Amino acid sequence: MTRWLVRGGLVATCDDEHTTFEGDVAVDGGAIVALGPGAAAALAPPYRALDARGCAVLPGFVQGHIHLVQTLFRGMAEGVPLLEWLRRYIWPLEAAHDEASLTASAELGLCELARAGTTTILDMGTTRGHDAVFAACLRSGLRVIGGKAMMDAGRGVPKGLRETTAASLRESERLADAWHGRGGRIGYAYCPRFILSCSERLLRAVAEAAPARGAHVHTHASEHASERAAVRAIYGASDVEVLARFGLRGPHVVFAHGVQLTPGEMARLARAGTRVVHCPNSNLKLGSGIGPVRELLSRGVRVGLGADGAPCNNNLDAFHEMRSAGLVAGARSGPGSLDARAVLHLATLGGARALGLGDRVGSLEVGKRADLAVVSLADVHAAPALDPLVAVVFACQSRDVRHVMADGRLLVRDGEPLGFDAPRVAARAREEARRIGLAAGVL
């Protein structure tokens, strides 16, 4: 494995003290072995150098809620609220997927994510064909926790997505056996989509199966007022109460969104250790509201950031999410309620801790895996960058990313992805998107 010296940058470690310094990062065996002006002394020659002068060197971004299978649907589902968005567009499109389109969608998303400095994701697929997604993830070099969506109930679920309870559990178990731990970077998550598409029997079975396997649970909760009302009409309680009743709570459980959470529900999540991922741009686009991030953090809930999917965002860009997270927090809780350092923490170490990976990634510290991004501060839109962390969060853009590394493997060099032919990926995505859109009756 190549030894690397990331040389001459402003190193923002994103540790709990927000330590920054001018210097180098030494990488050997996929891990960070030294930091600081003398880091090169820790490397036995030969090693390769990455020039980081004029750049911030950051941990690779962690995105805790992504739908790679939806990247192909970018721009196909506009201008409607959540439940209509799912039933009219997203579910028919997912039902039309096949191996070729799933591969094209995953590669498009992974290429976009890597190019913009994201190195770790928690992903939710669709109900079928998830081997193609995992195969693309393994080729990409990103660190991925993910799994197939689970859907055995619900109004408006098309035949191509609906499963039996037994089949959904059986396929999840097969995927976990086949992919969990592959390459040292793939983890499995049970992904019951949300209460309205899952039976009580399925949710209770997931609550038992995931801890037994050491797997995550990844689901949507408290995203939109209409969703909450529909759950209450069925169960006479909120989605958070129902999920807890069925056993879906605890540090291995990740709720995407949490926009509609009440103070009592936030306290319940804090006591259980359940994690929440904030998706500000998705929530704005679907009219779901603004997540109570400051309130969650003040109660001790672990919170991360995520772009969600391309059709409800239209980007998978961590810079876009960071800027929006800071701005909408100001609108909800007052200016400065999430400052640049707090936002950057959500996108790095906070997000890693929300996924149970804080001992491996999320900060630049000796012994952690070498997941990092080198971001230029030199362009006019970021200058003068007197406070570089403010510049990274509120001024920098994905085009400023120069180099990206995950597990010591270089994924992006001089702004160009190494694991993907980006023009070919985009061209293939256009072909597959048209084919699938026509098959679903969306185009």
pLDDT digit string, tens, across residues 220-277: 999 999 999 999 999 999 999 999 999 999 999 999 999 999 999 999 999 999 999 9
Residue spans of the chain under pLDDT 70 = none
In the prediction, which pLDDT does 163 show? 97
Read off the tokens for 116. Answer: 């913009």
In the prediction, which pLDDT does 23 show? 97
Q: How many helices (H) and strands (E) does the chain have?
A: 16, 18
Rounded Cα distance between 130 and 144, Å, is 13
Closest C-alpha among 86, 98, 122 to residue 308: 122
Residue indicated by tokens 């876009």: 320
Closest C-alpha among 319, 414, 282 to residue 117: 319
Read off the tokens for 396. Answer: 């920098």
- 367 burial class (0-12, 13-18, 19+ CB within 10 angstroms)? exposed
Please give the mean pLDDT across all residues of the chain: 97
The type of residue at 326 is G
Rounded Cα distance between 291 and 108, Å, is 28
In the prediction, which pLDDT does 209 show? 97
Residue indicated by tokens 């940058």: 9
Write out the H or E segment, with its range, that includes residue 225: helix 225-235
In the prediction, which pLDDT does 58 show? 98
In the prediction, which pLDDT does 1 show? 81
The answer to whether 219 and 196 are in contact (CB under 8 A) is no
Distances (CA, A) of 100 to 18, 89, 124: 43, 20, 18
Read off the tokens for 323. Answer: 């800027």
In the prediction, which pLDDT does 3 show? 97
Rounded Cα distance between 415 and 403, Å, is 6
Q: Is the peptide bond before 315 cis (omega within 30 degrees of 0)?
A: no
